[in-house]
Structure formats: C-alpha cells, structure tokens
Amino acid sequence: MPATPRPQPLTGRAVAEKTLDGGSGAVALTASNRERDSGWAPARESSSAGAGRRLVVLIPALNEQETIGRVVSEIPRRIQGIGRVEVVVVDDGSDDLTADRAWAAGVDHVARHPGNRGLAAVFNRGTTEALARGADIVVTLDADGQHDPSVLPVWWRRLSPA
C-alpha cells in the first residue's frame, strides 16, 4: 500500500479559501501582518470583481476593551473595487466594555454570546452574520491589533481580477 503524503503545516502566511456557502462565491480570508511585505498573493477569483462587492470584516473579541476601538476605527471603509465595507464584531461573552467601545468606534454590528463559547463558535457565528448581511468577501482581523487593517486594500488588489 503506497504511503499517503503528509499534509504540510501552515507557515503563518495568509490563507484564502472559499466558504462552504452553497456556491455564492463568498471568499474568507485570515491573515497576519507578514503578508504586507512578503509578496504573497492568493489565487485570483475567476468571477468578475466590481463595485457591487460587499466586504465584511469580522472581528472575534473577548475582553478587548483596550484595543477594539482602535482596530474598528482603523479599518478602511472605502476600498477601490468594493461597493461596501462593513465591520462585524462577535463578542464571545466579554465581561468588560468591548461591545460598547466597538459601537463607539463605528462598528456596523455586534453579535454577542452570553458566555464564552470559543473561537470556532465565534467564527461560525461571524460567518453566518456576514453572509446574512450579503457579504461577498469575509476578512477576519484580531481584536487585539495583531493584524494591520491598512493592508485590506492591498489584499483586495491581489485577489481581484486584473
């Protein structure tokens, strides 16, 4: 019996993948700041890009009152080729002012869990919220400021057809 090749581990580069959404063409991204200078570019979508695309930035958060406002306010709301940018915070049962500070910073929607349910539940809820809001593209950023929101337009230029 031939040996099955072992899968290669992820190396910290961004991962772009289609969501399992029944074929609507939504794209989910998760990335770190290393992409800004790495020259990495995900595969280009074959569907046409355009100003009608809706980007939802998903931010999972748990007790991030000190950083969530800055993260939300630094997300670019106008990106060439994107018709609308929305920001959704999923508060995973914070017992501080995370949701209040997100609202004060201009978030479009906060989904709250009554208690901590974990990151998988947050991603599930956030993706569900984003698709319900008509998202064509979902990008996940950390609430602690680990990811640089200013690279969003760069990602879009790399993802959109030339």
Question: pLDDT per residue over 104-131, tens digit each?
Answer: 999 999 999 999 999 999 999 999 999 9
Confirm whether 8 is domain-assigned. Answer: no
Q: Check which CATH number belongs to the domain holding 25 and give it.
A: 3.40.50
Confirm whether 76 is domain-assigned. Answer: yes
How far does CA 109 lie from the centroid of its chain? 14
Confirm whether 9 is domain-assigned. Answer: no
Confirm whether 24 is domain-assigned. Answer: yes
Confirm whether 58 is domain-assigned. Answer: yes
Query: Residue 160's pLDDT band (boundaries 50, 70, 90)?
Result: confident
Range of the domain at 137: 15-41+48-159
Q: pLDDT at residue 49 above 50?
A: no
In angstroms, the CA 18 to CA 23 distance is 9
**Among 6-20, 86-100, 126-140, which is the least confidently predicted range?**
6-20
Confirm whether 10 is domain-assigned. Answer: no
Q: pLDDT at residue 23 above 60?
A: no
> What is the number of domains present in the chain?
1
How far does CA 12 lie from the centroid of its chain? 16
The contacts of residue 142 (CB under 8 Å, 6+ apart) are: 59, 60, 71
Up-side HSE of residue 101: CA atoms within 13 Å toward CB?
Answer: 20
Task: Name the residue with higher pLDDT: 1 or 10.
Answer: 1
pLDDT at position 139: 94
Confirm whether 4 is domain-assigned. Answer: no
pLDDT at position 97: 98
Closest of 113, 104, 106, 108 to residue 135, by C-alpha: 108
Confirm whether 103 is domain-assigned. Answer: yes
**Among 26-40, 96-110, 128-142, which is the least confidently predicted range?**
26-40
Closest of 119, 145, 160 to residue 32, by C-alpha: 145
Task: Name the residue with higher pLDDT: 115 or 3.
Answer: 115
